[in-house]
Amino acid sequence: SFNIVTTSSSASASHAASVIVAVVEGRGLARGEIGMASINVRCPELVLSQFADTGTYAKVITKLHNLMPLEILMPDTASVRGQGTKLYTLITETFPSVTFTAVQRKYFNEKKGLEYIQQLCVPEFSTVLMEVQTKYYCLASASALLKYFEFVQNSIYAPKSLKVIFTGSEQTAMIDAISASNLELVVNHRDHRSKNTLFGVLNYTKTAGGERRLRSNILEPLLDVVTINSRLDTIQVITCIVNVVRRVHTVCLNDMPQSLISVTNHICNKVRLVAQLGEKYSLPLRTSFSNTRGFFIQMKLEGGVLPGGKLPEEFIKKNNYGFTTVDLMKMNDHSEEALKDIFHMSYVVVSRLLSDVCEHIHCLYKLSDAVSMLDMLLSLAHACTVSDYVRPEFTDTLAIKQGRHPILERISGQQQISNDIYISEGSNFVIITGPNMSGKSTYLKQVALCQIMAQIGSFLPAEYASVRIADQIFTRIGVDDDFETNSSTFMVEMKEVSYIIHNTSAKSLIIIDELGRGTSPEEGIGICHSVCEFLINLKAFTLFATHFLELCQLQTLYPNVENQHMQVQHVRTEDGRDRVVYTYQLSRGQSDERNYGIRAAEMTNFPSDITEEAKTVAAKINQKLWHYSDPDTVKQRAVYRLATRLLQTARNSRLDPESLRQYLKGLKRQYETELQSATESVENEE
């Protein structure tokens, strides 16, 4: 017997969900080692994975978010009512609308799992056996999952018919569920049915497999530059031959109606017979069909009168006469005999076909994989022709010229205001300041979306793009209180930043927006300063948007910090008021704007006496702030910048000798200018 207990379920689970997942965690010293096995009921493919996770179980939660499971299986020992493990509790809280099924631990058997795979795996994919032989936990998950399909779903896979693949977490970049939500990768915040997401912008797929592949790639971008460039090469070719493909498609469609004529003629004979009878007797006859009678003649009752007399009322049903003829009965008999022959021949043909297909099922798997990949690449190619996109190159620098936000461009249908981004090893931490509503958050999301698009093999909305591969992409963007977990805004901020600190690496891309706004200014500045210093020393590529202008002083302490700000303009209205005009343009240096929170209040017709008092208090506080830039620090910064740019040139330059000479001369002039400004500042102080 296969005893199961459904611990929670919801009828509101998405109708699109079709994946069943089995999850098991190691015990004792192996705690934190996770094994997963999943099958999409619409696509017979067993996907195995095993990985070490942290105490936050970020990886397993992210993978489950990406799979959108219909049902999750876990050992009953992990889901004892009131005594569930930390992993079980976390998964049930994170996925309240998913059905959970507790399966007896004995069915999570790695030996049985290996036997299943040896028995069911298509021989052409049997290399997976070498990968999973020592992956005990994913084998245990596979055992429970396949046993569940056998006993509960009443589904048994034929021997050597199942495609089995093993996916390692090191093959793709990790984007946690919070970041995927913040960036609106597949779901829009305001309307879950809206297509105003990155997936919606890029999705022109025609097949279910292509759509699944595109979604999976957006949530788990590639890390291998060779594979990414191969996709970009293909997209480039597709955009050149799209007209040829369209012509072939049209020719194929034109041939299809000819092959259907013989089928339609057989049906038309019966319709033609009824039409002839109607003309002969001047009656409004029409052809009808039912499973019991076959084809028969029907005539609508009009006043209950027929030429030549009446029929008793008990013979009339639903205001219609129904009758037949000898010729029509003969045709029905012929059709029934033909249908029996068709069923018999179909059974013979399909049985023979299944027998032949089983021997070559690996070809169908490969064909399905190729079609879904081609569908996705065609979709990406179409997306880059709809808008003005450019092919990215991959270096150790993130440099995008005139980049645009892909989702906003889709929503507006017009060319968006574009901005540059430059982050390198020598300038890896960018602090962005500017007033509320000036476009800081939009710019941060734009950078992250362009990074993801590049790593799935898509062209980018920009004039030029150079991208460094990111192993993880983190975002911490403004949130409200989390009532489900009884967490304040500040607590939510701290949880998200703690997750970033514990999981990030030097190859990550980090986006942080307005950290510390949920507590007092003093504490907020202190926490932001400490977090910034940690990330600065880590060398991860980081964009940090803040209203705390005090953080801009980090540029004087660390040569790899860059200050930038969103520009605004001030104009006088007819009634003499000062009005802020947002340009949404990014510029170097820190923001010169002061009291922009008060300005925002003034725009809402806030009482003038209160805003004037606020300006006075703010001015007194600002006078006490200490702003100082050490000339020696400026010189060190100039040397550091020159060294890092020379290194980048040596690694990545493809300039011809004359262009390279001019570029190096420009670096020299910039270096001399920075040294001169440092010297002048010393003289001015003296």
Residue-wise DSSP of 280-340 = HHT--EEEEEETTTEEEEEEE-STT-BTTB---GGG-BTTEEEE--HHHHHHHHHHHHHHH
Structure tokens at 289: 């069909």
Task: Looking at the structure, tell me whether residues 354 and 411 fall in a common domain.
Answer: no
- DSSP string of 183-228, one letter each residue: TTSSS-SS-TT---SHHHHH----SHHHHHHHHHHHHS-B--HHHH
The per-residue pLDDT for 335 is 81
Task: Looking at the structure, tell me whether residues 498 and 522 fall in a common domain.
Answer: yes
pLDDT in tens, 156-214: 888 888 999 998 766 789 998 889 989 999 988 888 888 899 999 999 999 988 999 99
Task: Looking at the structure, tell me whether residues 327 and 437 fall in a common domain.
Answer: no
Task: Looking at the structure, tell me whether residues 290 and 425 fall in a common domain.
Answer: no
pLDDT at 445 > cutoff 90: yes
With respect to residue 224, please indicate whether it lies within any of the assigned structural domains: no
Residue 526, CA distances (Å) to 130, 159, 531, 532 in order? 52, 63, 9, 10
Rounded CA-CA distance 305/309 in Å is 7
> Which of 496, 548, 504, 558 lies closest to 522, judged by CA?
548
With respect to residue 419, please indicate whether it lies within any of the assigned structural domains: yes
Structure tokens at 561: 């910090």
Task: Looking at the structure, tell me whether residues 422 and 379 fall in a common domain.
Answer: no
With respect to residue 599, please indicate whether it lies within any of the assigned structural domains: no
Q: What is the mean pLDDT of residues 430-443?
A: 89
Task: Looking at the structure, tell me whether residues 452 and 582 fall in a common domain.
Answer: yes
Altogether, the residues listed in the chain come to a count of 686
With respect to residue 228, please indicate whether it lies within any of the assigned structural domains: no
Predicted TM-score of the model (pTM): 0.75
Domain containing residue 105: CATH number: 3.30.420.110
With respect to residue 532, please indicate whether it lies within any of the assigned structural domains: yes
CB-CB contact of 565 with 591 (8 Å): yes
CB-CB contact of 363 with 161 (8 Å): no
CB-CB contact of 99 with 72 (8 Å): yes
CB-CB contact of 142 with 117 (8 Å): yes
The three-state secondary structure class of 493 is helix
**Which residue, 148, 171, 194, sits at the end of a domain?**
171
What strand order describes the sheet that includes 393-394?
393-394, 464-467, 398-403, 419-423
Among the ranges given (36-45, 69-78, 303-312), the one the predictor scored with the smallest mean pLDDT: 303-312
Domain containing residue 536: CATH number: 3.40.50.300
For strand 285-290 and strand 163-166, is the pairing parallel, antiparallel, or unpaired? unpaired
Task: Looking at the structure, tell me whether residues 380 and 428 fall in a common domain.
Answer: no
Host domain of residue 44: 4-171
Residues 6+ apart with CB under 8 A from 25: 31, 32, 33, 34, 35, 78, 85, 87, 137
Structure tokens at 544: 């940090």
**Which residue, 593, 613, 628, sits at the end of a domain?**
593
Task: Looking at the structure, tell me whether residues 167 and 69 fall in a common domain.
Answer: yes
Task: Looking at the structure, tell me whether residues 564 and 535 fall in a common domain.
Answer: yes
Rounded CA-CA distance 235/204 in Å is 14
pLDDT in tens, 574-621: 776 677 788 888 988 877 666 666 666 666 667 777 777 777 777 666
With respect to residue 460, please indicate whether it lies within any of the assigned structural domains: yes
Rounded CA-CA distance 152/70 in Å is 14
Torsion, Cα 669 674 680 682, to 10 degrees, reads: -150
Residues 6+ apart with CB under 8 A from 516: 493, 523, 524, 525, 527, 528, 546, 548
What strand order describes the sheet that includes 69-75?
4-8, 99-103, 69-75, 19-25, 33-40, 43-52, 163-166
pLDDT at 416 > cutoff 80: no
With respect to residue 313, please indicate whether it lies within any of the assigned structural domains: yes
- Phi/psi at 464 (5° precision): -155, 145
Task: Looking at the structure, tell me whether residues 647 and 510 fall in a common domain.
Answer: no
Residue 483: pLDDT band with limits 50, 70, 90 = very low
- Cα 154-160-163 angle, rounded to 5 deg: 80
Q: What is the mean pLDDT of residues 348-359?
A: 86
The per-residue pLDDT for 7 is 54
End-to-end CA distance of the chain: 90
Residues 6+ apart with CB under 8 A from 192: none
CB-CB contact of 151 with 103 (8 Å): no
Structure tokens at 562: 């860059």
CB-CB contact of 315 with 279 (8 Å): no
pLDDT in tens, 328-347: 788 888 888 888 888 999 99
With respect to residue 185, please indicate whether it lies within any of the assigned structural domains: no
DSSP element (H, E) containing 341: helix 326-359
pLDDT at 11 > cutoff 90: no
- Phi/psi at 19 (5° precision): -105, 135
Task: Looking at the structure, tell me whether residues 565 and 669 fall in a common domain.
Answer: no
Q: What is the mean pLDDT of residues 48-75?
A: 90
Long-range contacts of 480-485 (CB under 8 A, 24+ apart): 485/93
Task: Looking at the structure, tell me whether residues 379 and 403 fall in a common domain.
Answer: no
Residue 404, CA distances (Å) to 66, 254, 424, 462, 544 in order? 26, 41, 20, 6, 19
Q: Please tell me the total count of domains within the chain.
A: 4
**Which residue, 136, 155, 171, sits at the end of a domain?**
171
Higher pLDDT, 47 or 650: 47
Rounded CA-CA distance 41/363 in Å is 20
What strand order describes the sheet that includes 578-588?
174-175, 472-476, 509-513, 541-545, 429-433, 561-572, 578-588
